[in-house]
A and B are shown apart, each in its own frame.
Chain A
Amino acid sequence: DAGITQSPRHKVTETGTPVTLRCHQTENHRYMYWYRQDPGHGLRLIHYSYGVKDTDKGEVSDGYSVSRSKTEDFLLTLESATSSQTSVYFCAAGTSDEQFFGPGTRLTVL
């Protein structure tokens, strides 16, 4: 357990609504990441952060935004949820050599 929590753990929402997922870490890691995991695709990077207020896009960033105002918190926002964003979302935190993953959030967009 690397002290990473995600909230909520499960969410069902409707198309067009905004959704925010939260990742919280207690180990003071500099790097934090948001991934989505879908059958047949593996883990794909959405956005990452290399420090407070320092973020960058990953492979599948369209439709997502992030914010990191404190070292311990990394928020992922779906500005207007679509059915294609139904997925399991994993947050990770760590060093440049190792990532520790949170328990995941299962998001369903109807």
Chain B
Amino acid sequence: GQNIDQPTEMTATEGAIVQINCTYQTSGFNGLFWYQQHAGEAPTFLSYNVLDGLEEKGRFSSFLSRSKGYSYLLLKELQMKDSASYLCAVRPLGGSYIPTFGRGTSLIVHP
């Protein structure tokens, strides 16, 4: 089984940097996804980390430490439109390979 933990809610200021953490415990790990979901909309893919380290995509970066069971999503130069839920999902090694989602972190960006 898998246990995924991320904060329920975070707030930040426009223009700032915010880090959203995700910790996981799993019997077999393949990779970790981050999705963004605006209120009333579908989740959209942000990143998929398999190897340790930081991957950067514009204002968003995602970090993974397999040995620590830890990932974070880093959002720079925050904009009001970044207010959304951020979902962490762990893909198991073997079996169906279907990811299990955490409960999501609601990020509120204020002026």
Residues of A at the B interface (CB closer than 8 Å) are 33, 35, 40-45, 48, 50, 56, 58-59, 90, 96-104
Q: Which residues of B contact A90 (CB under 8 A)?
A: 42-43
* B interface, size bucket: 10 to 19
Residues 33-76 (chain B) with a chain A CB within 8 angstroms = 41-45, 48
Beyond A42-B87, A97-B48, A98-B48, is A103–B102 a contact (Cβ under 8 Å)?
Answer: no
Q: Tell me which of B48, B96, B103, B104 contacts A48 (CB under 8 A).
A: B96
Q: Which residues of B contact A104 (CB under 8 A)?
A: 41-42
Q: What is the predominant secondary structure among interface residues of chain B facing chain A? A: loop
Residues of B at the A interface (CB closer than 8 Å) are 31, 41-45, 48, 87, 89, 96-104
Alpha-carbon distance A33/B98, docked complex (angstroms):
9
Q: Are A40 and B45 in contact (CB under 8 A)?
A: no
